Structure 1
Amino acid sequence: MSFLSQLLTRIRSILTFALSIAYLSNLAIKSPAIEDLIFVLMLIVLVLSFKEVSGSSRMIGYATFTISSILLLYTKAPVSVWQEALHSNLFFVVMFVMVPLLGIPIHRGGYTQALEGVFERHIKTNSRYYLLVSFLSAFVGILVNIAVVPLVYQICRNSSLSSNHKLLSSAISRGFSTCTIWAPTTAGIALVVQLTGSNWSAFFPFAIASGVMLGIVGYVMTIFEERKTIQGIGVIGESTPAGEGYQVTKIIELSAFSIVLIIGIAIISWATGISTIAIVSILALIYPLIWLALIKRLPVFWQEFKGDYFNLRLPAIKNEMILFIGAGLLAHSINYSHLGDYIPQLLSFLVGTNALLLTLVILGGSLSVSALGVHPIVTVTILGGTVQAAAYGVSPTYLALVLAACWSIGTAISPSSANVIAVSSIVGESPLRVSIHWNGLYAFFSVIALVVFLTVMRTLGVL
């Protein structure tokens, strides 16, 4: 990397963090001057990000910005509409900037070694391996989002079962998808709750039940696949002594860290009425400091902040910057041009007011498009921004759950999703193989399970 590239990356990191701090600060201050500063910083970071973004994110980014610009220019939208459209999804970018800070206590709190010890002691079969890796991906993914992929890989890579690339990639990608259907720290859930107007307290119980169901689907599939292979039969061995890093107290500590965080987000959101996204972002900045102070490791926060976070995590936000700002711009341009009016009309023609048909059409259509390589953020944003739940006789919570399923399963089968791309790079396989070949059947059974669950809940009158 040239000196100029390094300098521009450093400037982009500084401006990205400054943009996030200014955004969170202005939630309380509400200053027009700071609002203008935020917009200018966002434009600069966008330009610098477009220079660095690559692969599918670049393609999706160029497509969304180009289509949005054409629509807004054609409809002669005023500058205020452009500004509102560009600003609409900024809170997602801010969340992506702040959430990686939650990973610092995991990296530097002594928890990684303890988790490695669990593998050494207890994991002897494919099904046990899948269960633990998928659970870790879901559990840790709540805190660090897509950074969970390399983190979980580092934890489980020493297991002999990690040589099974299909098992490893399926466990990580599917495990992560089970938390993206409910966790408030993930961008997809923040997006669907925002778009549908669903109440978080009403959404959460059904969403976490859906996540558990997805986990069960993946685990049952692994058991059946294990029974079909000679390698998967009769390989349960005796437990071996734990490695030096195995400490039950550290596992309990990590569990407490996550539980307190999730409960804190829910309570603060309910008590204050502040957006869940804002609360997640603020707690991501404050909570690691408090936790590391409690376990007497506060100095490592500043070491990690100046090192890995500033040099690796912040520069990597370029993809999220382009994808989410572009998605917000596209949703606004579709609404402003009234192009989105055709989507409800098409749905009404296809499903009428039948909730089951609505669910099948949205899930089937969205996941088919995801499998073709379109990131779920595009379809979820368009559907969430144009479809009104009341028009189809369903509640906002029901629609939010359907869109959350589109996002969750879509990230497991879309070759362009960060989940699939990160996993495929680790196992050395193509994104298409990881997404369609290895997760296609999982997506099919997951849709069946979720449709049955949603239909039963609605029939009982609780959803």
Structure 2
Amino acid sequence: MRSYLILGMSILFLIHYFIETQWLQYSLVIVALLAFFGSVTKADRFPRIVGLIMMGVGVITEWSKGTGGDGISDGIILILPLLCLLTLVPLLAIPLRLSGFFESISLLLQYLLHQPKKLYTGITGTLFILSPVLNLGSIKIIHEFLEDLKFPSAMTAKGYIMGFSTAIMWSPYFASVSLVLHYLDVSFNEYILFGISLGLLSLIVGNILFAFWIKRHPLALGDPQTGQMDKKIRKQLLKLILLVLILLAACLGIESITHWSMMVIVCFMSIIVPLVYGIITSDWKRMLPLLVDYRDRTVPMMNNEIMLFMSAGMLAFAMKGTTVMNGVSSILMSIANLSFFLFAVTILLFVLVVSYIGIHQIASVGVLAMQLNPVELGISNVALALILLLSWSISTALSPFSGLNLMVSKLAGVSGMKEGLRVNGQHVIIFSVISIVIISFVK
């Protein structure tokens, strides 16, 4: 039943985007709240408690502002694009799985198995390509190929977290990029080159640091593989890269023509791509079990995300314009007038500290994106977007409460606190300093 509620909420949102009627909005809010409270008993303990607290504080704050039910309704509607994105994007994994791309990735990693530096590049590079489309599912796929190899936990944590966190800064299929660009009214066309450049920079810095790390921690995996990799594997990998580029180009093209929200475009792409794949290949017999699995297992397992995303979005919307956030804005404006570098560092630390409390970046970054005025700060919308997304990426990599760290801590067998600060702290500091310097030229 919850699966149909969540899917129904997503479809209703897409309809509401084009047909804005009062009764449809109220229906959408009711379905969204039913999905939220339906996830309460199924969510893990921590997301459930934090989600209920954030939702409660958000509702009380919005009510105290005098907006009542309309304000609460607007707050929920504002975060629904992200929930729709979260729900529908996993559909893209179906054609990727059926096309044999995952098997090619497995063979690539096996080929690089006895070359630690190249293997690390293969892991992080694969995550750079897959994460924008498959989200955390990309880590699960990579780990299935590597879990029996007994790599050092530090290497696993470094590779997974660094490779995944790059997508947070540039992928339109991620909630981070869609949310920040939406709130700051920045088109994806205008942002993509800057965002993907920072993602590649993170990849380069991480691989350079790993080259130094492996010298201090030699990893004996046997003799290097001889001979060239099978042409069929290389061809499949090139097809995968081409497919990701086509998906990005399609999103850019549709946005420039229609001027629709990128979140809406990505939602439609997530539905259309599997549908087109099914029509072209007529492989419905193999697709049907995966679609049933998506409905019966993937969607119902989104309890934690629904609790955290909806409640954090409600809290961010409610905090906008409050005395507290007006005070924060004034302080940040004063800092920006003194030094752009200091301003950027302050944003990074603010988002990181809040994430360490357990509050999702949707709340902290969301409220900053809604509250801060780039003109008053003396910077461009793109520069502010880059700072906020850099903050989101870094806090995701370091916070022990982020979904990324919680997953990797289980897979790598290290605590979220250790894998965040000790394992990835050096990479985060170096990458942050270089990024802020680069962004200062964009402002």
User: What TM-score, normalized by structure 2, do the two folds share?
Assistant: 0.94
Displacement of 1:214 in angstroms is 0.7
Q: Give the alignment partner of residue 177 of structure 2, picking from 186, 189, 200.
A: 189
Looking at structure 2, the residues matched to 289 and 434 of structure 1 have their Cα atoms a distance apart, in angstroms, of 40
- Number of residue pairs matched by the alignment: 443
Looking at structure 2, the residues matched to 351 and 242 of structure 1 have their Cα atoms a distance apart, in angstroms, of 52
Farther-moved stretch of structure 1 (274-283 vs 382-391): 382-391
Q: Give the alignment partner of residue 297 of structure 2, picking from 312, 336, 341.
A: 312
Displacement of 1:137 in angstroms is 1.2
Displacement of 1:295 in angstroms is 4.3
Partner in structure 2 of residue 12 of structure 1: 2
Alignment check: 8 A CA contact 1:353 1:393 kept = no
User: How far does the alpha carbon of each residue in 1:70-105 deviate from its partner, in whole angstroms, 9 at most, with x for none?
Assistant: 323433432111111122101100000000001111
User: What is the letter of the counterpart of residue 256 of structure 1?
Assistant: L
Looking at structure 2, the residues matched to 203 and 283 of structure 1 have their Cα atoms a distance apart, in angstroms, of 20
Q: Give the alignment partner of residue 443 of structure 1, picking from 419, 422, 428.
A: 428
Alignment check: 8 A CA contact 1:133 1:156 kept = no
Displacement of 1:33 in angstroms is 3.4
User: How far does the alpha carbon of each residue in 1:32-64 deviate from its partner, in whole angstroms, 9 at most, with x for none?
Assistant: 433332121111111111222124322331231
Displacement of 1:342 in angstroms is 1.0
Alignment check: 8 A CA contact 1:389 1:399 kept = yes
Farther-moved stretch of structure 1 (406-415 vs 358-367): 358-367
Alignment check: 8 A CA contact 2:316 2:362 kept = no
CA 256–288 in structure 1, closer or farther in 2 if over 3 Å, else same = farther
Displacement of 1:316 in angstroms is 2.0
Task: Structure 2: give runs of 5+ residues left out of the alignment.
Answer: none
Find out whether 1:398 has 2:383 as its counterpart: yes
User: What is the letter of the counterpart of residue 141 of structure 1?
Assistant: S
Alignment check: 8 A CA contact 2:63 2:72 kept = no
Find out whether 1:104 has 2:94 as its counterpart: yes
User: What is the letter of the counterpart of residue 224 of structure 2?
Assistant: G
Farther-moved stretch of structure 1 (80-89 vs 194-203): 194-203
Q: Give the alignment partner of residue 226 of structure 2, picking from 239, 242, 266.
A: 239
Alignment check: 8 A CA contact 2:112 2:122 kept = no
Displacement of 1:335 in angstroms is 2.0
- SS of alignment partner, residue 397 of structure 1: helix
- SS of alignment partner, residue 30 of structure 1: coil
Partner in structure 1 of residue 146 of structure 2: 156
Task: Structure 1: give runs of 5+ residues left out of the alignment.
Answer: 1-10
Find out whether 1:139 has 2:108 as its counterpart: no
Looking at structure 1, the residues matched to 223 and 90 of structure 2 have their Cα atoms a distance apart, in angstroms, of 37
Q: Percent identity?
A: 21
Partner in structure 2 of residue 7 of structure 1: none
Partner in structure 1 of residue 339 of structure 2: 354
Find out whether 1:180 has 2:180 as its counterpart: no
Looking at structure 2, the residues matched to 372 and 32 of structure 1 have their Cα atoms a distance apart, in angstroms, of 37
CA 335–51 in structure 1, closer or farther in 2 if over 3 Å, else same = same
Looking at structure 2, the residues matched to 374 and 124 of structure 1 have their Cα atoms a distance apart, in angstroms, of 41
Displacement of 1:296 in angstroms is 4.7
Task: Let me know the Cα RMSD of the aligned residues.
Answer: 2.2
User: What is the letter of the counterpart of residue 116 of structure 1?
Assistant: S
Find out whether 1:69 has 2:66 as its counterpart: no
Looking at structure 1, the residues matched to 395 and 157 of structure 2 have their Cα atoms a distance apart, in angstroms, of 16
1:183-222 to 2 correspondences below 5 Å: 183-222=171-210
Displacement of 1:19 in angstroms is 1.2
CA 44–149 in structure 1, closer or farther in 2 if over 3 Å, else same = same
Partner in structure 2 of residue 57 of structure 1: 47
1:21-100 to 2 correspondences below 5 Å: 21-100=11-90
User: How far does the alpha carbon of each residue in 1:403-443 deviate from its partner, in whole angstroms, 9 at most, with x for none?
Assistant: 01011111111111111111112223222222222122221
Displacement of 1:23 in angstroms is 1.3
Partner in structure 2 of residue 297 of structure 1: 283
User: What is the letter of the counterpart of residue 290 of structure 1?
Assistant: V
CA 372–227 in structure 1, closer or farther in 2 if over 3 Å, else same = farther
Alignment check: 8 A CA contact 1:50 1:58 kept = yes
Find out whether 1:453 has 2:409 as its counterpart: no
Displacement of 1:364 in angstroms is 2.8
Q: Give the alignment partner of residue 153 of structure 2, picking from 165, 184, 187.
A: 165
Looking at structure 2, the residues matched to 436 and 292 of structure 1 have their Cα atoms a distance apart, in angstroms, of 44
Alignment check: 8 A CA contact 1:122 1:239 kept = no
Alignment check: 8 A CA contact 1:126 1:222 kept = no
User: What is the letter of the counterpart of residue 185 of structure 1?
Assistant: Y
User: What is the letter of the counterpart of residue 355 of structure 2?
Assistant: S
Farther-moved stretch of structure 1 (252-261 vs 391-400): 252-261
Farther-moved stretch of structure 1 (421-430 vs 183-192): 421-430
Looking at structure 2, the residues matched to 436 and 351 of structure 1 have their Cα atoms a distance apart, in angstroms, of 27
User: What is the letter of the counterpart of residue 161 of structure 2?
Assistant: S
Looking at structure 1, the residues matched to 367 and 23 of structure 2 have their Cα atoms a distance apart, in angstroms, of 31
Displacement of 1:373 in angstroms is 4.3
Looking at structure 1, the residues matched to 356 and 75 of structure 2 have their Cα atoms a distance apart, in angstroms, of 28
- SS of alignment partner, residue 231 of structure 1: coil
Alignment check: 8 A CA contact 1:177 1:411 kept = yes
Looking at structure 2, the residues matched to 211 and 241 of structure 1 have their Cα atoms a distance apart, in angstroms, of 29
Q: Give the alignment partner of residue 118 of structure 1, picking from 89, 108, 112.
A: 108
Partner in structure 2 of residue 341 of structure 1: 326
Farther-moved stretch of structure 1 (196-205 vs 41-50): 196-205
- SS of alignment partner, residue 50 of structure 1: coil
